[in-house]
Amino acid sequence: MTLPVNTEPWWDWVCGEYLRRGDDRDRAGEYAQAARLVESPVVEIGPGLGAFARYLLHADNYVGVDCSGAMVAEARRRVPDRVFVQGNLFAVADAWAGAFNTVCAFQVLEHMVNPDVGMAAFRSLARHRLVLTVPAGMPSADQTAGDGHVHGWTDQEAFERYLERWGTVVPVASDDNHLGAMVQWA
């Protein structure tokens, strides 16, 4: 059976694949640096298995929102002292507009056909800033089919140029395969 990419059933299947492979999605260096940039309260869109939430020792108010029920269940099991809910970015952006100081989105924006719509939703959620990472490079046909990547940026400079229209951009160190930034809203 083939599932349409970037749908809830597809993400539930991806969760099973991560668990089967023992891939906890923990990007220690990237997450440790990003955690220093957040200002509570924090909402993370697409927390997956909850890896980033473990780095937020100083954030007393955190909510992780994922479209996948399987991801939410696994994140709750792994990080029981944090709140994870199943939901849709656009629905929570409407319901929780301005409720957070920081929104985090690691490996999320590349899954959106129109990243401007995603950025507007992120902007609606957080009063002050966005901390995000994306894969480096443009998605290949294999990445689109297998990883659900539908958008990309060629390099850090191109990524920052895209983000500058949303606010002041501060680069965030990431591994060789990812681009990272914090956007302080204009």
Residue 2 lies in a domain: no
Residue 60: the pLDDT is: 85
Angle at 66 between CA 63 and CA 68, to 5 degrees: 145
Token digits of residue 45: 């869109």
Other CB atoms closer than 10 Å to residue 112's CB: what's the count?
17
Residue 3 lies in a domain: no
Pairing of strands 62-66, 42-45: parallel
Predicted confidence pLDDT, tens digits, the chain (186 residues): 478 889 999 999 999 999 999 999 999 989 999 999 999 999 999 999 999 999 998 888 999 999 999 999 999 999 999 999 999 999 999 999 999 999 999 999 999 989 999 999 999 999 999 999 999 988 887 777 778 999 999 999 999 999 999 999 999 977 778 999 999 998
Q: What is the CATH number of the domain that holds 101?
A: 3.40.50.150
Q: What CA–CA distance (Å, rounded) separates 69 from 8?
A: 8
CA dihedral of 38, 40, 43, 44, whole degrees rounded to 10: 30
Residue 37 lies in a domain: yes
Look at residues 186, 83, 65 and name the one whose alpha carbon lies nearest to residue 129. Answer: 186
Q: Domain count for the chain, please give it.
A: 1
Enclosing domain of residue 126? 8-185
Q: What CA–CA distance (Å, rounded) separates 152 from 145?
A: 14
Q: Is the pTM of this model over 0.85?
A: yes
Residue 1 lies in a domain: no
Residue 17 lies in a domain: yes
Residue 48 lies in a domain: yes
Q: State the DSSP code for 12.
A: H
